[in-house]
Amino acid sequence: DSGVTQTPKHLITATGQRVTLRCSPRSGDLSVYWYQQSLDQGLQFLIHYYNGEERAKGNILERFSAQQFPDLHSELNLSSLELGDSALYFCASSGGGAGGQINEKLFFGSGTQLSVL
Amino acid sequence: GDSVTQMEGPVTLSEEAFLTINCTYTATGYPSLFWYVQYPGEGLQLLLKATKADDKGSNKGFEATYRKETTSFHLEKGSVQVSDSAVYFCALTLMDTGRRALTFGSGTRLQVQP
């Protein structure tokens, strides 16, 4: 058990809909990362938050957004869903991110499997 | 941009066979290199890492050496077990640029048969 919790585990929805994926990082971790895993694109970095602030953006579509709350949990919002958004979405956390000692090890949740029909 | 290239799978081996999974990278700076493993139905777990040239990362019988001259970080294990069946991801990060997010390769599926 990595200590990172993602909910829900599975999500089935229709095109055009909006969904929210939730991630609770390991206790004490300030950084949260979101990744998308699909068969054709592999593991793609979406976005990184540190202590509530956005730190880096990867290949995240404008239809997608994320935030990290004061209790450090994070949500990934996916809107106007398309068939191609079907993928496994991972959240990962780490202790570092803003300077000082950087914790390079990421702890991954078990993912949310999104199916867009 | 930065990228990681891994050999395509699946790699199918018999138990106790020698394993090599190739990984090469392209980076604008001096990356830290990682191997992560994903068992069925689970998230990724860090297997080993190396942060500078000629470093060797090792864990659970797996090894990988950071080769700057060949920009490679090949994963090896002398004798695989059925329990090693998983997907293996090579990854890099460029800490000195502040880009802490990992860039992953496409993953290599390993199937070990009894």
A4 touches chain B (CB under 8 A): yes
For chain A, give the mean pLDDT: 90
Residue range A34-72, pLDDT digits in tens: 999 988 888 899 999 989 999 888 889 999 999 999 999
C-beta atoms of B44 and A97 within 8 A: no
The answer for A71, left when phi > 0, alpha when psi is -120 to 50, beta otherwise, is alpha
Which position has the token pair 């930065």?
B2
Which position has the token pair 């956005």?
A54
- Tell me how far apart the alpha carbons of residues B37 and B44 are, in angstroms, rounded to a whole number: 5
Helix, strand, or coil here: B104?
Answer: strand
C-beta atoms of A56 and B99 within 8 A: yes
**B38 touches B87 (CB < 8 A):** yes
Residue ranges in chain B whose pLDDT is less than 70: 95-100
C-beta atoms of A55 and B89 within 8 A: no
Distance from CA of A75 to the nearest CA of B (A): 18
pLDDT of A82 higher than 80: yes
Tokens representing residue A80 in the block: 């106007």
